[in-house]
């Protein structure tokens, strides 16, 4: 099932990458200034890498710097793994919903939604504090906030919205929210 969904998404992405948007009636094509993909992942860790690799191939065809691309890739992996492990508790009956948008100028927006109960994102311990530095987990949200330009949690924490501005360089001060 995942392979079929992946192939379907790949087809859509290839059409959009080439500067076309396939309208619902599929009779005409028009130029696009962005690509937008929506997909649903099963709650299996092994589904993360194929999706991230595919989205990074899409990003590579747009005006995204290498630094931004690396930041986006790591933040996306963290958000997906958090959704599967913490949000959906690895429940194979639950899904993760991903909305991805990349503009021709290099801005990337991603929404990751799980079917879990959410969490209090403000109560997640700071992994840089002395008490937490040796913990084996708890760095995902910190990394996402550090790597992306904007991060918002909605629906009680079961949705994370991330945005990387168009080619925001390392001279832009980024700090966790």
CATH number, position 155 = 3.30.565.10
Does some domain include residue 67? yes
Mean pLDDT of all residues belonging to the chain: 80
Does some domain include residue 172? no
Does some domain include residue 102? yes
Q: How many domains does the chain have?
A: 1
Does some domain include residue 32? yes
Whether the per-residue pLDDT at 31 is higher than 90: the answer is no
- Dist. CA 95–CA 114, nearest whole Å: 6
Whether the per-residue pLDDT at 169 is higher than 60: the answer is no
- Say what the pLDDT of residue 54 is: 95
Does some domain include residue 150? yes
Helix axis angle for 2-17 and 48-60, nearest 10°, is 10
Does some domain include residue 171? no
Burial class (CB in 10 A: 0-12, 13-18, 19+), 88: buried
The pTM score is 0.76
Does some domain include residue 177? no
Lowest-confidence region among 99-103, 138-142, 173-177? 173-177
Q: Which domain holds residue 68?
A: 2-164
Whether the per-residue pLDDT at 38 is higher than 70: the answer is yes
CA-based nearest residue to 96, from 85, 111, 82, 84: 84
DSSP H/E element including 39? strand 34-42
Residues 113, 67, 35, 9, Cα dihedral to 10°: -60
- Say what the pLDDT of residue 129 is: 73
pLDDT band at residue 63, thresholds of 50, 70 and 90? confident
* Structural Rg of the chain based on CA atoms: 17
Cα 64 → chain centroid: 15
Beta-bridge partners for 110: 100, 162
Does some domain include residue 175? no
């Amino acid at each position: 099932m995942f392979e079929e969904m992946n192939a379907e998404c790949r087809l859509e992405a290839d059409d959009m990458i080439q500067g076309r948007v396939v309208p619902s009636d599929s009779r005409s094509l028009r130029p696009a200034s962005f690509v937008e993909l929506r997909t649903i992942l099963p709650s299996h860790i092994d589904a993360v890498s194929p999706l991230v690799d595919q989205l990074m191939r899409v990003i590579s065809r747009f005006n995204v710097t290498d630094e931004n691309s690396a930041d986006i890739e790591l933040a996306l992996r963290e958000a997906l793994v958090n959704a599967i492990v913490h949000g959906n508790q690895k429940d194979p009956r639950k899904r993760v919903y991903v909305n991805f948008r990349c503009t021709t100028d290099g801005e990337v927006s991603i929404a990751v939604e799980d079917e879990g109960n959410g969490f209090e994102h403000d109560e997640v311990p700071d992994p840089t504090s002395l008490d937490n530095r040796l913990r084996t987990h708890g760095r995902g949200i910190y990394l996402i906030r550090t790597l992306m330009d904007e991060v918002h949690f909605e629906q009680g924490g079961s949705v994370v919205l991330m945005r990387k501005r168009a080619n925001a360089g390392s001279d832009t001060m980024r700090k966790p929210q």
